[in-house]
Structure 1
Amino acid sequence: MNVEKIIKTEKEIPLKPRTLIHLSLVCNKMNEITTAQLKPFDVSLQQFNVLRILRGQNGKPANLSTLNERMVTKMSNTTRLVDKLITKGFVDRVTCEKNRRKVDINITALGQKALLEMDNAMKTAEEEILKNLTEQDLIQMNNLLDKF
């Protein structure tokens, strides 16, 4: 990916800003590809993330706080994400009878089934995004990214 070509400049960009622009462009490209793979499921990347978190609970419910802590992209509208997943039948929400402020969120059987299909779509996205990188490249990239 040639940064200067993509942003249509002939001027050489200094290394530090070029690096940040490059990372931004790569992030945007990854989001485009993953969003396209999730489009048939009518699920956003953030909704997909919520479903994966709930699956990782292994049958134990989660609350909004747990979801917020574990989200890849931190956001304040987790309630709205959950509401959309409820509408699709992918999750359910149960209010505790003893403490009405406590709300448990669970992935449904339909959500589990849909998530398995989404996993396959995301595997396709992963292959497309990383197709030009070797395993050694990925190890080196992860080591560099860990420095952030």
Structure 2
Amino acid sequence: MKIEQAINQTKPFRNNRHRAMVNLIYTHNWMVDQLRAKIKPHGITMQQYNVLRVLRGAGEPISTSVIRERLLDKMADTSRMVHRLAQKGLVVRRECAHDKRLVDVSLSDEGYAMLDQLDILHTEMDRICEALTENEAAQLSELLDKLRSD
């Protein structure tokens, strides 16, 4: 479906860059909604899921500031999310050995189990992007990288 149809656009966009920007925002929200629906039954948010993935990828305890640097959503309150994940038993917080002001965070066994259950999202992400060939997906990724370059 064309973006104009999806948002019931009646006037033409100012230019193709404007159309691309609106299309990108709309598509981002659509993709997030698709993934959120799969995560919601597990009782965590997309941002919390991202924290869990960052921790698994780190492979060792890391500070909340390192987590924040690696998050997809830079507006997220990392300390609050880590606190909530700890309350759910999905992460473990420990005082940093070399800097008492910092807290090291790692996945708990329950956190690893949750991610194992949520690995179904890999299939869902593939399904969401199945309209693109591998080459088209690579090209799209390169264009998005280019868009963010300064």
1:105 alignment counterpart: 105
Q: Does 1:66 align with 2:66?
A: yes
Report the CA distance shift for 1:134/1:96 in structure 2 as closer, same or farther (over 3 A).
Answer: closer
Letter in 1 for 2:85: L
Q: What is the match of residue 135 of structure 1?
A: 134
1:8 aligns with 2:4: no
Contact 2:47 2:76 in 1 (8 A): no
Does residue 39 in structure 1 map to residue 40 in structure 2?
Answer: yes
The Cα of 1:88 is off from its aligned counterpart by 1.1
- Quote the residue 1:119 is aligned against: 119
Cα RMSD after superposing both structures: 1.6
C-alpha distance 26-109 of structure 1, shift in aligned 2 (>3 A): same
Highest RCO, 1 vs 2 (Cα 8 Å, sep ≥ 6) = 1
Give yes or no for contact 1:68–1:75 (8 Å, CA) kept in 2.
no
Distance 1:76 1:43, change over 3 A: closer
User: Hey, what's the Cα distance between the residues in 2 that align with 1:50 and 1:135?
Assistant: 28
- In 2, Cα distance between equivalents of 1:65 and 1:87: 19
1:82-105 residue CA offsets vs partner (Å, 9 max, x unmatched) = 011111110011124775312111
Cα deviation, residue 41, structure 1: 0.9
Aligned partner letter, 1:92: V
Distance 1:44 1:76, change over 3 A: closer
2:20 match: 19
TM-score (norm 2): 0.89
Structure 2 unaligned runs (5+)? Answer: none
Task: Output the CA distance in 2 between the equivalents of 1:115 and 1:57.
Answer: 14
Query: What amino acid is the match of 2:116?
Result: L
In the alignment, residue 133 of structure 2 is paired with which amino acid? T
TM-score (norm 1): 0.91
- For 2:99 and 2:78, the matched residues in 1 are separated by 21
Q: In the alignment, residue 22 of structure 2 is paired with which amino acid?
A: I
Kindly, what percent of the aligned residue pairs are identical?
A: 35
Q: Deviations over 1:41-63 (max 9, x none)?
A: 111111111111111222x2111
Unmatched segments (≥5 aa) in structure 1: none
The answer to whether the Cα contact below 8 Å between 1:64 and 1:78 also exists between their aligned partners in 2 is yes
